[in-house]
Amino acid sequence: MSVDLLDKLRRGLQTAAFCLAISAIQFAFQPVRGYEVPLVYSLFIGMTTWLLIDFGRHAWPSSRLTGWPQGFAGIALPVGGIALGYLAGTLGGDWWFGWSSWEGRGREDLSLSVLITAMAGITASYFFYSRTRRAWLEARVAEAQRQASESRLKLLETQLEPHMLFNTLANLRALIGIDPPRAQIMLDHLNSYLRATLSGSLAALHPLADEFARLQDYLALMAVRMGPRLQSRLALPAELGNVPVPPLLLQPLVENAIRHGLEPKIEGGQITVKASADHGTLLLEVIDTGVGMTSGAPQTRTGSGFGLTQVRERLAASYDGEARVDVESSPGAGVSVRIRLPLGPAAQEARI
């Protein structure tokens, strides 16, 4: 059984503060007895009750998931804890003052003490139960959101892969008849690309070096199709090669740059993909010298479900708002897309 001692300390301090409030109220109604008497008894009874309930709840297996026992145990625990806490706490207070509360005590005074203990115990138990229940529900919601994000990202991958594959096979079929050697080169690159894609799809994150290696195969495939009209440059510093990133993060941007930027340009152009560290963040840039975005239709560069919108959604799901995408375009001079990701421990703890 694993117990969060820091959480127990926090709950213990909250219980002690609650006991101080109860003793202050008692003193306000019975100032003749002085403040020390209600203070000592309140602390003894309250802290004993808290120890019995908060540590006792871990004895039931049903509390491991929800934080609180289920069924009859969930009711018996606070009732038994309050009763035993009152008895043990009263004995502790008697020991402190050197007298016995059970001798010569009026029935009215005893009833009032029991009533205060019961009300305070029920209130405190419900407070801690509510917080524990809320934390459990929040954890369940977060887990459901994480699974939904993973499903959404897997859906993007399943949409992206057939799209690229069908286009490549169509070009491969045309090359087989007119240029078999180039078709063989294209088939080798396709084989390498699909092998890397299969291994990458089995992990939520992979090294940035693997992402660049996959891009290199993809660009080689596109170079077979476009010939000298496509020039490319990949720049990855060695020290950033092991930084984890989600698979298929950059390919939608590269595909957009080729399809909507370089292919419509008669003379083609160059696409550059580079990575760098910039003030504690990982900066990824995809820059092309294509036709750029038209001022009236920036959506033409988002692609058919494989562009900037999908990349932004993926980063939002993976990095919980800590990543950013910036786009700059000059008509006729190309587009620059910059992605900033947390670097260091934050990158290692990406949610997927």
Name the residue with higher pLDDT: 264 or 121: 264
CA distance 41 to 25: 13
CB 47 within 8 Å of CB 16: yes
The pLDDT of 291-317, averaged and rounded, is 62
For 308-325, what is each residue's pLDDT tens digit?
Answer: 777 887 787 778 778 899
Which residue in 340, 327, 324, 258 sits closest to 291, CA to CA? 258
For 40-82, what is each residue's pLDDT tens digit?
Answer: 999 999 999 989 988 888 888 777 767 788 888 888 888 898 8
Tracing tokens 């699909």 back to the chain, one arrives at 194
Res 235: pLDDT: 95
pLDDT band, residue 156 (cuts 50/70/90): low
Pairing of strands 269-278, 244-245: unpaired
The pLDDT of 221-246, averaged and rounded, is 90
CA distance 189 to 176: 15
Query: Is the pLDDT assigned to residue 300 strictly greater than 60?
Result: no
Residue range(s) of every CATH 3.30.565.10 domain in the chain: 179-348
Burial tier of 303 (Cβ tally within 10 Å: 0-12, 13-18, 19+): buried
**Domain formed by 179-348, architecture:** 2-Layer Sandwich (3.30)
The pLDDT of 165-180, averaged and rounded, is 78
Res 346: pLDDT: 41
CA distance 310 to 292: 19
Pairing of strands 230-235, 269-278: parallel
